[in-house]
Amino acid sequence: MPQEKEVTIYDIARHLSISATTVSRGLKNHPTINKNTRKKIFDAARELGYRSNLFASSLRSRRTHTLGVIVPRLNSYFVSSVLAGMEDAANREGYNLIISQSLESAEKEVANAQIMFNKRVDGLLISLAYDTVDLHHLDPFFKKRYSRRVLRPCVAKFRQY
C-alpha cells in the first residue's frame, strides 16, 4: 500500500493562496498574523490533516526538548517517585523524558548513553550502574556541554522533590 504524503505548510499555503511564511507564523500564533487568517490556517490544517513535524523543527532549532534518563532499575518505589518528580519538573519547562534502565550493567549503560546521544537528547540524567568504573561513554555529552546549557532551568524545579 503506498504511503500518503505528509501535509506540509506549503500544502496549506497553496490551499489558502497565501505564503508559507504566513502559514508558519499563523500556526505559531504570531501576533503579526490577523486573527481571522490564523483561524483559516488552523481550519485548513485540520481539514488537510496537517501535523507539526517535530523532527524538522528540532533540526532547525538544534533542540529536541527531550532529556534522557538512565537508571539502574525501574522496579522500586523510590526510583518511580524520583522519575515522577523529574517528569513533572521537565514537563513544566517544556521537556519530555526518555527513560531507560541499565540493569546494573556498565555495558548496557554505555549502549543506552550512545542511544540517548544519537537521539539528540538535550541533556542526560544518569544514575551509574553498580559496575561502572569508566565514564568515557559520557564524554560526548561533556563535549557538547549539555548539562550547563539545558539542565540549569530544570535543576531548581527538581530541588522541590
Q: What is the CATH number of domain 63-158?
A: 3.40.50.2300
In CATH, the number for domain 9-52 is: 1.10.260.40
Residue 53 corresponds to which cell in the numbers above? 513535524
Give the model confidence (pLDDT) of 60-91 as tens digits.
Answer: 767 888 999 999 999 989 999 999 999 999 99
Buried b (16+ CB within 10 A) or exposed e, 49-87: ebeeeeeeeeeeeeebbbbbbbbbeeeeeebeebbeebb
Q: What is the pLDDT of residue 144?
A: 77
Instruction: List the chain domain ranges.
Output: 9-52, 63-158
pLDDT in tens, 16-68: 999 999 999 999 899 999 999 999 999 999 999 999 877 777 667 678 889 99
Rounded to an integer, what distance in angstroms lies between the CA atom of residue 52 and that of residue 25? 13
Q: What are phi and psi of 135, to 5 degrees?
A: -105, 15
Question: pLDDT class for 143, splitting at 50, 70, 90?
Answer: confident
Position with higher pLDDT, 91 vs 148: 91
Output helix, strand, coil percentages for the chain, rounded to the nearest 5.
Answer: 55, 10, 35
